[in-house]
Amino acid sequence: MARARVAIASDHAGFAQKQQLAAWLAEKGYPVTDFGAEDGATSVDYPDYAQLVARAVAKGQAELGVLVCGTGIGMAIAANKLPGIRAANITDPAFAVLAREHNDANVVTLSGRLVDFDTNKRIMESFLNTDFAAGRHSERLAKIAQLEQ
């Protein structure tokens, strides 16, 4: 997924790492759109930010979404409510590879509280550098898409 357009957002709990990840992605040359939050001190609701990124990805305004909250779990649950979104909550780089190869995940959700920045950066590298393997996995994704009907 070289130079994919990236939509990123967080709640207050993910704010610090969202800032770091957005800067790191931009440094690497990825076009990044930041949908907030604006600070880490104001308590906000993660579904509000998950939907902004999920809608941008679903509309094709970005190829990849990145969502950071305390655990990444709430962001994944919320983002996966939108048709066309395959969000994976990832805490280890090996899972990032499989989420791309097998599941063609288009949104990665990360933990800002329980996973350190270096690990989240390695997760992002794996996610960005791994292509969907297609083949038998495509048929399974088609079945997931049917569940949205």
Q: How many CB atoms lie within 10 A of CB 55?
A: 18
- Known catalytic residue: 69? yes
What whole-number distance in Å separates Cα of residue 125 and Cα of residue 127? 5
Interaction of residue 40 with ligand RB5, rule CB under 6 A:
no
From the list 67, 69, 75, 76, the catalytic residue is: 69
- Which of 46, 50, 99, 120 touches ligand RB5 (CB under 6 A)? 46
DSSP alpha helix (H) spans, 1-149: 15-27, 46-58, 73-79, 93-101, 117-128, 136-147
Determine if 69 is a binding residue for ligand RB5 (CB under 6 A).
yes
- Tell me which of 6, 8, 9, 13 binds ligand RB5, using CB under 6 A: 13
Distances (CA, A) of 52 to 37, 48, 91, 139, 148: 11, 7, 22, 28, 19
Is residue 137 annotated as part of the catalytic site, yes or no?
no
Q: Which of residues 49-68 bind ligand RB5 (CB under 6 A)?
A: none
Residue 101 tokens, joined: 């190869």
What is each CA distance from 28 to 14, 33, 41, 63, 127, in whole angstroms? 21, 14, 28, 16, 14
**Least Å from the CB of residue 13 to ligand RB5:** 4
Under the binding rule (CB under 6 A), the answer on residue 110 touching ligand RB5 is no
User: Judged by CB under 6 A, does residue 47 bind ligand RB5?
Assistant: no
Q: Does 74 bind ligand RB5 (CB under 6 A)?
A: yes
Task: Determine which one of 86, 102, 121, 122 is catalytic.
Answer: 102
Binding positions for ligand RB5, rule: CB under 6 A: 11, 13, 46, 69-71, 73-74
- Active-site positions read 69, 102
